Structure 1
Amino acid sequence: MGKKIIMIFIVLGLLTITACDRNAYKKDDNKKEVENEINKQNEDEAKSSNDDKIDGDHEGKNPDADEDDNETSGDVTLITHENNPLLELALQGKVDGIDFGIGASTDKIIEEWGLPDEYDYFLGGLYFRYDDKNILFLTDAEKDDEEIIHGEVKCIGIFEENKEVFNVKIGMTFDEIISILGEPTYVNTFEQNEESELLAGSWTIVYDTGEYEIVFASNAEKGPVDVVYFWGKN
């Protein structure tokens, strides 16, 4: 009987030791799992932080974009001709050989030149066309039945071939005009002029003289020039 009790205690002791060992192993395993999980989270957070930093760097500084922006966002300097001595008459709102400049009264024109060969509404006012002089005036005048309510000249069109205006001649090519007057302020293509009621169907070069603009227009891409328009910008 005594031996059996001793054996039972021995067996119970062994079982207790085994259980403790198993618990110890289990605790170690749990501890390792927790440590691995913590390490994994730290790695993920570090990776995420690096990714955010990289993305932030790309958003804040893109060399290609910066170069492109510098090329396209810089102010474009237009060529103006306020000080061009060859366009001195244009600075005064006048055209060579024409008595009436921008701002002239339409009643004064009719008083000196008589009624135009043709007049009607165009671009918000009456145009006066004098065929014998090859000149067109665009004005802000109106008419009531057949009576003209006078206004002022806003634009002058000159059609006479070989007529000299602003030190060049109608009939010259664009290149010939540029060689005399210098580079224009604008060069507008046929497509760019499509929306213009006045210039549709034309290629143009434009000289900005401050308060006024001179437009050389042609039905061909490089000229010769068919007509010159001169108008006030205000």
Structure 2
Amino acid sequence: MKKFVLGLICGIGLTATTSVYAIDTIQAYLFPAKFVFNGVNKVVEASEYVVLNHQGHAYVPIRFVAENMGALVNYKEDTKTIQISDAPLSKKLQLNADFLSTATEGKLLGIEFGIGSAKEDVFQKWGEPHRMGKRQVGFYAWFDYNYFFSGPNETVGAIGVSGETVRYSVEEVKKALGQPKYEGLSMIEAGWEMSYKVGEYVLFFSADRKDGNVHYMTFKKIE
């Protein structure tokens, strides 16, 4: 039911149809539509989402569309409400003096949930994570932000940022944040690492090589 509700939104007029697809008393047709977001083709995974044609109107998966346009989708089961909201999570992380200042408070610039935030609060505001994975330990991801929860109260113990959201060259990071406290071969994975101490917290930037590009950033409290 939840997947169905999040998968439909009223759409645009169409004329072509394919095979019959029935849900309860609604007769609809599978529609092999293609999606292009700001010039970039995106493939709809048939195992999770479908596009339907009902009475000449397209019904597209709202989660797929909204998230590809940088918005968060959250479904409230008790009120049967679909919430769609803009989120800075889909925008490139801005590295500057304010970024370091904010990091001393245990937060990333522009991101509301920082170190110590409750897992329940994150899920309540951001909805279901886009994916789950493991980087040494398990995490929940919203866009390029990986949240690691720990402790008996399941609070945010670390935040990882990957992909285009943190795609800077090593030199760009140094220019924005100054010389790191440590720089050298990574002790965890192949590649180059830089670290910045900010109050009780530390920022790790992982790059492919000394003069290469950052592919991951880790933010955590100093143990």
* Structure 1 residues 117 and 150: alpha-carbon distance in aligned structure 2, compared to 1, 3 A threshold: farther
CA deviation after TM superposition for structure 1 residue 127, in Å: 1.5
For the structure 1 residues 160 and 99, does the alpha-carbon distance in structure 2 shift closer, same or farther, using more than 3 Å as the test? Answer: farther
Amino acid at match of 1:214: L
- Find the aligned partners of 1:154 and 1:117 in 2 and give their Cα distance: 19
Matched, 1:159 2:155: no
Q: Which residue of 131, 139, 142 corresponds with 2:149?
A: 139
How far off is 1:183 after superposition? 1.1
Stretches of structure 1 that go unaligned for 5 or more consecutive residues are 1-83, 142-148, 164-169
Deviation readout 1:129-175 (Å, 9 max, x if unpaired): 22xx211011116xxxxxxx7511111111241x4xxxxxx322212
Larger CA Rg, structure 1 vs 2: 1
Point out the structure with the larger helix share. 1
What's 1:29 paired with?
A: none
Gaps of at least 5 residues in structure 2 are 1-96
Structure showing the higher strand proportion among its residues: 2
TM-score by length of 1: 0.48
- SS of corresponding position for 2:101: helix
1:96 aligns with 2:109: yes
TM-score normalised by the chain length of structure 2: 0.51
Identity score, percent: 24
The answer on whether the counterparts of 1:212 and 1:231 sit within 8 Å (CA) in structure 2 is yes
The residue correspondences of 1:6-85 to structure 2 (distance < 5 A) are: none
C-alpha deviation, 1:178, in angstroms: 1.4
Which of 182, 188, 204 pairs up with 1:215? Answer: 204
Residue in 2 that maps onto 1:181: 177
8 Å contact kept, 2:191–2:206: yes
Superposition CA RMSD, Å: 2.3
After TM superposition, what 4+ stretches of structure 1 lie above 6 angstroms from structure 2? none
Give the aligned partner of residue 233 of structure 1: 222
CA contact (8 A) 2:98 2:109 kept: no
Aligned residues: 127
Matched-pair contact (CA < 8 Å) for 1:215–1:229: yes
